[in-house]
Each structure stands twice: as structure tokens, then as C-alpha cells.
Amino acid sequence: MFFRWDWLRPQLTAPIVPTLGPVHPDALTAGIFEDVLRAADTGDFLPYDKDRRWGGEKDERVLRRDVVHQRERTLIPTLTRRGRGTMKVFAYGLPDSVVNEAAELAAKLAAAHDVAGARVVRPLGPDTAHPRGTRIQLKDFTAAPCPDPGGPVRPVTDWPTSVQETFAPFAEAMAADGLAFLHTRMQAGRCGPVLAAAVEDRIVGAIGPMEVLPDAIGRPQLLPQYFAVLPETRGQGLGRVLWRAAMHWGQSHGAAYQLLQTEVGGPSDHLCQTEGLTSRGFTHTTTA
């Protein structure tokens, strides 16, 4: 094995794995890091990679020859060719100096691979004071029931045709939140159901796709969703109803948990915290 667990484990202040994102703390093992290295050689999706649902090829891969693995620090670079390309270096280690080392490596590799972006991703523990970036949130479906909240929410395909036709302009208006991309997947029949909220026969909010996939240790997880509500209809509780409907769907379909990332201080972050999700740490991304 490449990674020494007695070196790596103390450095994992948050459950983030390169190319995979957040993973359940129970699945955070040396084996999952080894899997990521093996996938770098083949270019294939791992069976439990949430991105495999979109099809195609895995875009982000670890540069295994450039990994730095030492007792006090582990630097894992990944390369994405999408757009003008991005080099990320995941900086695991307690000393603050690990960020500077990671930035130097990211800049060097970005130049070597002729990509435009160079970034450092720093995982931070849940007790971090004044955190920035994204918060890793855990919803445990085994802890308590998730009742159906009712309200004007149902799968898009269950709304009358005239209401379904309003999804396209809604998705376009919320393209920045990923809804336009989601709409293309829906049209291609390449994703699970999407829950939508409608007011006066017009879709004004949506969350989806709703899909469950076994994780690295076989536990069923509800995969992250795109989630958006039109700005002019916010403040009416529709976002919370959509969220609770999604959690009801996940629990009803056998999910044991969900992991997601929210922008610290943002609306989704506040919603998740008030809904009782557990913070598992943070990731702070900076330009190298």
C-alpha cells in the first residue's frame, strides 16, 4: 500500500477525499485513498463515486507520481481538464506551513501540465474558529423519522403538463445553481426523480435528482442534489418544505445518510444547521 494509515489518519481533520469529495467518517480508511490512486491509472469511476451517475468519463484524477506523503503532511494533486483546466492540491497536515507547500506544488504542476487554474484545498476540523469556505454536513436517517411535510411539492412528472412546462424557464433562471444542467439530464432520462414546488401553477423551486448509491463500505447514501428556489418566492418556507420532502424520500428509499457541502453562512448552510445536521468539518479553497 502507498499510504501509511498511522501517518495519514491524524491529518484527516475533515472527511474529504480527492476526486470523491465528502465521505462518511466510517468509510474514511486508507483503502479509499488507495482506490483513488488506482482509479487514476484506469480513468474509470469507482463504484461508489457519486459522479458516475452522470456517465461519460471521470474528469478529475489524482497525479499519483506527484503525491507527497510524509509523517506530518500529505499533499495530493488532482488535475481537471474541463474548460482551461485546474490543478488542485489537497493539503492534509496540521502545521499551517502545509498550505504554502501545497501552493508551490500546485503552481509548479499547473505550469507543467499547461492548465490555467492552481488551487489549494485545505480540510479543517469541525471546531475551527471563524471558518470560511464550505461546511461538510451529515444527515443521519437512522436517528429520527423524516415525515412527509406535505405542501405544494411533488415529483416534476406528477404535476400537470402545463405546470411541468414551467420547469424549463425556472431551470434557466436558476442556471447558476446547476438547474439548467439538471434539466438537460432530465430531458435525456439520465437521472432520478426531481421534486418541485409550484405556486399558482408555476414551478418556483426544485431539489434533485433523488438517487441512492452504496458507499465504499456498502452503506446506502442519498446522493447530493441540486437545490434552488426562485429569489422572488423565498421567505415563504418553500425551501424548507422541499428539503424535508427530499429527506422523506431518502429515508423512504432506504438511505442511511446523506453528506453534502454548503457555503458557510449561506442560506443552505443555515437551513441544514436548523434542521439538525451534524457539521463534520470544513474545506477552504484558495488560489495558489
| pLDDT given at position 43 | 83
- Report DSSP letters for 237-288, one per residue: SHHHHHHHHHHHHHHHTT--EEEEEEETTSHHHHHHHHTTPEEEEEEEEEE-
Q: 119 and 15: one domain?
A: yes
| Cell numbers at 220, concatenated | 446506502
Q: What is the pLDDT along the chain (288 residues), one digit of tens a residue?
A: 799 999 999 999 999 999 999 999 999 999 999 999 999 888 889 999 999 998 888 999 999 999 999 999 999 999 999 889 999 999 999 888 999 999 999 999 999 999 999 999 999 999 999 999 999 999 999 999 999 999 999 999 999 999 999 999 999 999 999 999 999 999 998 899 999 999 999 999 999 999 999 999 999 999 999 999 999 998 899 999 999 999 999 999 999 999 999 999 998 999 999 999 999 999 999 999
d(CA 288, CA 284): 12
Q: 147 and 186: one domain?
A: yes
List the CATH number of the domain containing 209: 3.40.630.30
Residue 119 lies in a domain: yes
d(CA 164, CA 243): 20
For the chain, what is the domain count? 2
| pLDDT given at position 244 | 98
Task: Please name the helix (run of DSSP H) or strand (run of DSSP E) that holds residue 195, with its range, or none.
Answer: strand 195-199
Q: 125 and 209: one domain?
A: no
d(CA 286, CA 288): 6
Task: Please name the helix (run of DSSP H) or strand (run of DSSP E) that holds residue 56, with its range, or none.
Answer: none
Q: 246 and 149: one domain?
A: yes
Beta bridge partners of 202: 199
Residue 269 lies in a domain: no
| pLDDT given at position 190 | 86
Instruction: Name the domain boundary from 80, 102, 130.
Output: 130
Residue 262 lies in a domain: no
| Cell numbers at 137, concatenated | 454536513
Q: 124 and 176: one domain?
A: no
Instruction: Name the domain boundary from 99, 130, 161.
Output: 130
Q: 88 and 11: one domain?
A: yes
Beta bridge partners of 90: 76, 121
The whole-model pTM stands at 0.92
Residue 277 lies in a domain: no
Q: 11 and 93: one domain?
A: yes
| pLDDT given at position 74 | 97
| Cell numbers at 31, concatenated | 483503502
Q: What is the DSSP letter of 59?
A: -
Task: Please name the helix (run of DSSP H) or strand (run of DSSP E) that holds residue 91, with its range, or none.
Answer: strand 86-92
Residue 90 lies in a domain: yes
Instruction: Name the domain boundary from 74, 100, 130.
Output: 130
Question: Which residue range(s) make up the domain with 251?
Answer: 143-255
Residue 154 lies in a domain: yes
